[in-house]
Amino acid sequence: MLRVSDVAFGYVPEQTLFKDVSFTIESGEFLAVGGRNGCGKTTITRLLVGLETPRTGRIFYNDTDITGWTPAKRSQYIGYVFQQPDRQMFRPTVAQEVAFGPEQQGYSRAEVKEITAQALERVRLSDKADAYPPLLHRGEKQRVAIASALAMQSEILILDEPTSGQDGTETKELLGLLQSLRKDGLAIVLITHDMEIIASQCSRVLVMGNQTKAFDGSPEELFTKRDDLEALGLERPACVSLSMAVPSLGYCASMEEFTKRMITYKQQGGR
Amino acid sequence: MERVADISKLVYRHKQGGQFRWVTVSVLLLAIGAILHLVSPSVAGVTPNWVIATYCVAIQLTRPTYKQAVGIGLVAALITLMTSKSAFPYGNLASEPIAALFCALLVHGQARFAFVGEKTLAIISGFFTTVLSGAIFVTLLFFIMHLPLTVYLFGMWPLVLVVALCNAVVTPLIYMPAHHFFEKQGFVADRKEEETSHANYDLKPASQALISVEHVTYYYGSSKSSAIKDVSLVVNKGDFLVITGPAGCGKSTICQAMVGAVPQFYGGQMQGMVFVEGQAVTQTTIPKLAMHVGFVPADYDSTLVTMTVEEEIAFAMENRGYDPARITSRIDQVLTQVGLKGLEKRTITGLSGGQRQRLAIGAVLATNPEILVLDEPTSSLDPAGTSELYELVGRLNKEEGITLVVVDHNLQAVLPYANRAILVMDGEIVKDASMLDTLTYMYEERLYTDALPSLFVGYMQLKAAGYAGQAPWICVADALEDIRGEVPTYVKG
Ligand SMILES: Nc1ncnc2c1ncn2[C@@H]1O[C@H](COP(=O)(O)OP(=O)(O)OP(=O)(O)O)[C@@H](O)[C@H]1O
Ligand SMILES: [Mg+2]
């Protein structure tokens, strides 16, 4: 669906942040983007939404070259949730904020209302439709940003560290919402430093490092096959370390899975 | 010096920060007044005096000091001066400041007449302020332009009164929506709010601990519900204390109280008292407290003030009076510690999120505070950065006796270093014990279990099933050790 081809980028002419970066994003994927602080995760997503322009290389959406498109034009396909969602809200109520996209796309008033209501329903914010966005909690602001993307019928939703600074319960709720959106066919791109989330939630991981794409594959492959995790600023999640110590359990993507299998394994005599 | 028998009853009220809010509000309103002044049609030669009406509203909303009110009047005078059609507009320079001062007198006087509501006050101040301003203006005009007495008495005075009547109508009409708007932004001063001073109290902590929080209940700004309720805790020298609890439970408020930002910066009402090294926080200032306590707030971006990375560290040190000769070498040391070496000259806007968080931490570490209060210091850090940070502060804690208070959602990362953990729910402390005891309590009572480290939960479940050793798993190595004993097929991971 979205294809990045041989992209290179740098903020200042004398430095290259990364080069030779190619990957694709397909619908229904839950793609994690990981890597050390400053490796270019935020930058790569800014390139996808058109907030930065690649030095070389192209970006395609369903084989249409969108490299030269403005962020506004791309926003019909790609939704973006900033790390500080406040910075992307301008209108006096939640409903108006979400309605902004469809209004720009030229829908009639009645249609806009319908679309907005559906999007808010989808993120369970219907009761906050008339609230003033700056007064919402951070988790709610994120959901407003997600609803805005849904109202635009975006097919890709990018979130920059949405779970940082969130408590365990908020994180769980957000992940539940993202999983259900993904089931509806959206592609989710999640920048995160949380290894347990990568292991338990994501279908694929893209790691930025060494000034290029350092890894692109399944979380299982990343956490069990790579021996340069530390150099890439990553860490093997505890559940994977433990399951590797007991090979007959197989790969465990979460601690829950590990304890369940471990208990069964023990009950069956531990062999 | 007055002694305080029961510290839990001691109240401290403070106006919410934003000492320049009156400027923002009055400039906005005056701009609106100026526009209305230019566009409003006149009926039989009469229009309301919009500028006076808007500064009356501004003064009523912000309740400025008398000096500030005169300032507002002067700005209003300049606006009218520049847009005036009068033959002698300079009279405004006298009439508006005096009338604004009078308006402030009315507003402050309202406290004595509780039955006067906000709307009535707007009507009264709209009318009398306009009369006074008009009177001064036309009287000056009368003397300076040598006008006939009849014109003064029967031409000008009636006009002043009619305009004042118009203003008595429009002032409340502007006041209501303006009040609604600025209240939403938290810009409105509460008429009942008065400042408390503790200067005359003899305040002594009940405990000799480094930080002693005693029966603190706190209401932010004009909030009706308390953010924390009767919170008492001590932080001893050398403690590594973790505060945990669900979002909005009051963790950050407790941190802010330890650095004096609550109540001195956020305003509002505090009951009880926080003592830092024996000093009551209401009897000192935030900068003085900062000499002992280094603080990284959850919103770390707000602490970064300079242009470049090295300036940020230097600035923090200069503020604490460090010798310039030491600063250069210390910058080097600190940037290495937080993994920002090589980025000295980088502008702060050119840093990634995690790099900015590293810098905010570095700036605090640079000044070697005896107490470090870190509110979610690893929210944007990569796993390596997180473990490096806790290794570093864990070492400072062990080797140099630095005291730590940490809020973090990632309990696994602090687990190996912390000696104590407090669980806060709904503004109250529900558990204050060793790290492992608090985790066990959370697990057994099913309290905020989403925050429990997965290794700990895994251990508890396996132990309950009879398949784990006696000691909880603090880190992966512990778990592997345990499993190795249990599993014959163990291979090194
Ligand atoms: N405006 C800029 N000028 C110069 N360099 C920049 C600018 N913005 C970012 N950088 C640098 O580009 C690199 C990549 O930044 P980016 O924000 O993409 O990192 P990131 O992977 O998202 O990191 P984090 O995990 O900390 O969020 C960083 O080293 C950063 O210092
Ligand atoms: Mg980033």
Higher local confidence (pLDDT), B313 or B286: B313
Question: Cα separation of B69 and A69, whole Å?
Answer: 52
Q: Do A178 and A115 share a domain, yes or no?
A: yes
Domains: count for chain A: 2
Atom of ligand 1 nearest to the CA of A161: 27
Flag if B458 and A137 touch (Cβ within 8 Å). Answer: no
Examine the pLDDT at A109 and tell me if it is beyond 70: yes
What is the predicted pLDDT for the residue at B19? 67
What chain B holds in terms of domains, given with CATH numbers, is 19-185 (1.10.1760), 201-421 (3.40.50.300), 453-493 (no CATH)
**Is B276 within 8 Å of B291 (Cβ atoms)?**
no
Which residue among B352, B449, B455 places its CB closest to the CB of A37? B352
Mean of the pLDDT values across residues B93-113? 90
Joined tokens for residue B399: 């080797």
In a domain, residue A232? The reply is no
Domain for residue A73, yes or no?
yes
Confidence at residue A82, expressed as pLDDT on a 0 to 100 scale: 84
CB distance A193–B491 less than 8 Å? no
Q: Render B376-444 in DSSP notation, one character per residue.
A: STTTT--HHHHHHHHHHHHHHHHHH--EEEEE-S-HHHHTTT-SEEEEEETTEEEEEE-HHHHHHHHHH
Residue B43 pLDDT grade (very low, low, confident, very high; cuts 50, 70, 90): confident
**In a shared domain, residues A112 and A196:** yes
Q: What is the pLDDT of residue A214?
A: 95
What's the mean pLDDT in B91-119? Answer: 88
What b/e readout covers B15-30, taking b as 16+ CB neighbours within 10 angstroms? Answer: bbebeebbbebbebbb
B440: tokens are 């066990």
User: Does residue A8 sit in the same domain as residue A131?
Assistant: yes
Q: What is the pLDDT of residues A120-136, one digit of tens each?
A: 999 999 998 988 888 78
Q: What atom of ligand 1 comes closest to residue A43's alpha carbon?
A: 18
Which atom of ligand 1 is least distant from the CA of B357? 26
Contact B454 A248 (CB under 8 A): no
Q: How far is the CA of B241 from the centre of ligand 2 (A)?
A: 29
Residue B486's pLDDT is what? 53
User: What is residue A141's predicted lDDT score, i.e. its pLDDT?
Assistant: 87
- Specify the residue with its C-alpha closest to ligand 1, atom 17: B352
Position B334 pLDDT exceeds 80? yes
In this structure, the answer to whether residues A41 and A136 fall within a common structural domain is yes
CA distance B174 to B136: 24
How large is the C-alpha radius of gyration of chain B?
30
Q: How far apart are CA B105 and CA B115, in angstroms?
A: 17
pLDDT-derived band at B17 (thresholds 50, 70, 90) equals: low
Residue A34 Cα, ligand 2 centroid: separation in angstroms? Answer: 10
Write out pLDDT tens, residues B247-278.
888 999 999 999 888 887 877 888 889 999 98
In the predicted structure, residue B492 carries a pLDDT above the cut 60: no
Ligand 1: which of B340, B351, B389 to mutate, most ligand atoms within 8 Å of CB? B351
Q: Is the peptide bond before B64 cis (omega within 30 degrees of 0)?
A: no
Which ligand 1 atom is at minimum distance from the Cα of A40?
A: 18
Check CB contact under 8 Å for B489 and A271: yes
**Which residues lie below 8 Å from residue B28, measured CB to CB, with a gap of 6+?**
none
What's the pLDDT score for residue B333? 92
Supply φ then ψ for residue A164, to 5 degrees.
Answer: -70, 135
Report pLDDT for A270.
64
DSSP state of B467: -
pLDDT of residue B40: 85
Q: Which of B240, B239, B272 is nearest to B253 (CA)?
A: B272
Helix (H, G, I), strand (E, B) or coil at B136: helix
Total Cβ atoms within 10 A of residue A215: 19
Span A214-240, mean pLDDT?
94
Task: Report the residue from A193, A244, A263 with minimal CB separation from B462.
Answer: A263
pLDDT for residue B468 = 82
Cβ atoms of residues B69 and B103 within 8 Å? yes
- Span B197-210, average pLDDT: 82
Q: Which of A38, A241, A259 is nearest residue B493 as measured by Cβ atoms?
A: A241
- Say yes or no: CB of residue B386 within 6 Å of ligand 1: no
pLDDT, tens digit, for every residue of B371-421? 999 999 999 999 999 999 999 899 999 998 999 999 998 899 999 999 999
* Average pLDDT for A228-248: 92
Percent of residues, chain B, with pLDDT higher than 70? 95
Q: How far is the CA of B316 from the centre of ligand 1 (A)?
A: 23
Alpha-carbon distance of A5 to A58, in angstroms, equals 5
Residue B13 vs residue B130, higher pLDDT: B130
Same domain, A12 and A106: yes
Measure the CA–CA gap between A230 and A210, rounded to whole angstroms: 13
| Average pLDDT score over residue span B343-363 | 92
Q: In terms of domains, do A253 and A220 share one? A: no
B363: its two tokens: 């700036």
Q: Are the beta carbons of B376 and B299 closer than 8 angstroms?
A: no
User: Which of A180, A206, A97, A185 is CA-nearest to residue A141?
Assistant: A97
Q: What is the mean pLDDT of residues B339-361?
A: 92
Q: pLDDT-based confidence at B205, cuts 50/70/90? A: confident
| Cα–Cα distance measured from residue A46 to residue B198, given in angstroms and rounded to the nearest whole number | 52
Question: Residues A245, A132: one domain?
Answer: no
Angle at which helix B435-445 crosses helix B454-464, to 10 degrees, equals 70
Asked if A134 and A154 sit in the same domain, the reply is yes
Regarding whether A161 and A52 lie in a shared domain, the answer is: yes
The predicted-structure confidence for A33-81, as pLDDT tens digits, reads as follows: 999 999 999 999 999 999 999 999 999 999 999 999 999 889 889 999 8
- Domain identity same for A30 and A156: yes
Whether A183 maps to a domain, the answer reads yes
**Count, residues in chain A:** 271
Q: Which of B296, B486, B489 to mutate to test the interface with A (most CBs of A within 10 A)?
A: B489
Verify that A80 and A153 share a domain, yes or no.
yes
A44: domain range? 2-226
**With DSSP H G I counted as helix, E B as strand and the rest as coil, what are the percentages for chain B, rounded to 5?**
55, 15, 30
Residues A163 and A243 in one domain: no
Name residue A160's beta-bridge partners. A191
Given a cut of 70, whether residue B91 has pLDDT beyond it is yes
Q: Would you state the structure tokens that stand for residue A185, as one six-digit string?
A: 């066919």
B433-464 pLDDT, tens digit per residue, is 999 999 999 999 999 999 999 999 999 999 99
Using pLDDT thresholds of 50, 70 and 90, give the confidence band for residue B284.
confident
What are φ and ψ of residue A214, in 5° steps?
Answer: -95, -20
- Using the predicted structure, report yes or no on whether residue B490 has a pLDDT greater than 80: no
Asked whether residue A231 is assigned to any structural domain, the reply reads no
Calculate mean pLDDT across residues A88-101: 87
Q: Kindly list the residues from chain A whose CB atom is less than 8 angstroms away from the CB atom of residue B385.
A: 36-37, 233
Check pocket membership of B354 for ligand 1, CB cut-off 6 A: yes
Residues with CB under 5 A from ligand 2 (ion): A 42; B 352-353
Helix residue ranges per DSSP H, B191-346: 251-258, 261-264, 286-290, 309-319, 324-337
Residue B426 has pLDDT above 50, yes or no: yes
Residue-wise pLDDT for A146-182, tens only, equals: 999 999 989 999 999 998 878 888 899 999 999 999 9
Nearest-CA distance A180 → chain B (Å)? 20
The count of other CB atoms within 10 Å of the CB of residue B131 is 20
In which band, very low, low, confident or very high, does the pLDDT at A117 lie, cut at 50, 70 and 90?
very high
Ligand 2 centre from A85 Cα, in Å?
14
Q: What is the CATH number of the domain that holds A61?
A: 3.40.50.300
Domain for residue A95, yes or no? yes
pLDDT digits (tens, 9 = 90+) for B159-168: 999 999 999 9
The residue whose C-alpha atom lies closest to atom 9 belonging to ligand 1 is B350
- pTM greater than 0.95: no
**How many CB atoms are located within 10 Å of the residue B119 CB?**
14
Chain length of chain B: 493
Nearest CA to ligand 1 atom 16: A40
Of B195 and A119, the one with more pLDDT: A119
SS3 state at B36? helix
| Ligand nearest, relative to CA of residue A83 | 2
| B45 pLDDT more than 80 | no
Mean pLDDT of chain B: 88
The residue-averaged pLDDT of B84-111 equals 88
Task: For B249, name the nearest residue in chain A, comparing CA atoms only.
Answer: A167
Q: Is A18 left (phi over 0), alpha (psi -120 to 50) or beta?
A: beta
pLDDT score, position B193: 55
A237, with CB counted inside 10 A (0-12, 13-18, 19+), is buried
CB contacts, 8 Å: B452 with chain A:
168
Are B376 and B390 a contacting pair, CB within 8 Å?
no
The pLDDT value given to residue B493: 42
Closest by alpha carbon to B362, among B351, B240, B242? B351
